[in-house]
Amino acid sequence: MRVLGIDPGLQHTGWGVIDIDGNALRHVAHGVISPDAKLPMADRLTIIFNGVQAVLAAQNPDQAAIEETFVNRNPSSTLKLGLARGAALVAAASTGIPVAEYASRLVKKSVVGTGTADKTQIAAMIGVLLPSAKVSNADAADALAVAICHAHHAATLGPQRRRAAQGAAA
């Protein structure tokens, strides 16, 4: 199974693609979509949307995973992050592939072992788990962490979604 992980951000949206074969993870590609901060908001969101769609077309993932927006002290920053996340989420969902959402703390715990890990700890573990990745960008490392988190949790998500759909249909 091929998974696209997305770490949304208005300045830098990281993306990372891994292949999952049983318990084995293999790095495929990673990068960052960085709209010019001087552009109007609508243009920046369009660049994120189009960038994620281009990655989806080039990498052809089976599933995608995206980090949820965390609420910080600045409501304006939270709202802007939510807009970037929305653009990336819609881009992925518009292809018809399943898109999972993960809390930041769960991503960190899945990769590092603690939900309070910092970016340097995440990058270090990406180097251990995906040694061929050679990631030098924190946003791309975070996106690969989202994909790895999905690899760990995807097996339990399928049955949960089926049960939820059956319950909704009843």
Provide the annotated active-site residues: 7, 67, 139
Angle at 158 between CA 25 and CA 149, to 5 degrees: 35
Find the DSSP H helices in 7-137.
41-59, 75-93, 104-111, 119-129
Largest pairwise CA distance in the chain = 50
Say how far apart CA 47 and CA 147 lie, in whole Å: 22
Residue 148's identity, in one-letter code, is: I
Output phi, psi for 7, to 5 deg.
-110, 95
